[in-house]
């Protein structure tokens, strides 16, 4: 399957989640199957709840725990290490588009993954130009239009369709 992977990167509170949410909403309306992968930087974060059955299974030694409810399935994998990009993408089979939110260090120079960079300032914009490659677009709370860059700026809150068009162009190119 030809899938498109797009990373949405930027500093804390720069608009990454807003951007991913807008892209998902717009592309889902267009019929695409979408996976979203969120990097959580807190060292001791767990999706599990201490004392609940799934937590107890992990404490007992289970490496994979699956919770199944009427409308949702959650898989918890006790892996004890960070995943590579390929390992992350392998968990997102059967999707047309995979959005990676965060993962700055993992994707910064990965040329096969276009980036949408959410920025809050002129300085963040300039720093991003030296760190991320390739950059598909800028988004976030700082409008980069006045900087006269060749990379477009799209406000995901007001023009999600324009940002989705850029991603859809990648999808069409991949399937050409």
Q: Is residue 49 part of a domain?
A: no
Q: Is residue 61 part of a domain?
A: no
CA distances from 128 to 55, 137, 151 (A): 39, 11, 12
Give the helix ranges, DSSP H, for the chain: 16-29, 53-60, 85-90, 104-107, 122-131, 160-174
Domain with 113 in it: 4-42+81-174
Domain count, the chain: 1
C-alpha dihedral sign at 71, 76, 82, 83: negative
Q: Is residue 17 part of a domain?
A: yes
Q: Is residue 157 part of a domain?
A: yes
pTM of the model: 0.89
Q: Is residue 13 part of a domain?
A: yes
pLDDT tens digit at each of 176 positions of the chain: 579 999 999 999 999 999 999 999 999 999 999 999 999 877 777 778 889 898 899 999 999 999 999 998 888 888 888 889 999 999 998 999 999 999 999 998 899 999 999 999 999 999 999 999 999 999 998 988 889 899 999 999 999 999 999 999 999 998 77
């Amino acid at each position: 399957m030809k899938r498109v992977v797009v990373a949405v990167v930027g500093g804390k509170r720069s608009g990454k989640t807003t951007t991913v949410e807008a892209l998902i909403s717009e592309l889902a309306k267009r019929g695409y199957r979408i996976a979203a992968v969120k990097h959580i930087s807190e060292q001791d974060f767990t999706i599990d709840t201490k004392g609940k059955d799934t937590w107890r299974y992990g404490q007992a030694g289970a490496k994979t725990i699956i919770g199944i409810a009427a409308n949702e399935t959650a898989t918890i994998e006790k892996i004890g290490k960070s995943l590579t990009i390929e390992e992350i993408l392998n968990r997102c089979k059967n999707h047309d588009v995979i959005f990676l939110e965060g993962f700055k260090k993992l994707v910064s120079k990965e040329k096969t993954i276009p980036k949408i960079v959410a920025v809050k300032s002129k300085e963040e914009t300039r720093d991003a130009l030296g760190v991320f490659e390739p950059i598909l677009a800028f988004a976030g709370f700082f409008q980069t239009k006045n900087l006269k860059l060749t990379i477009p700026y799209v406000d995901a809150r007001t023009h999600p369709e324009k940002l989705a068009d850029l991603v859809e162009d990648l999808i069409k190119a991949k399937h050409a």
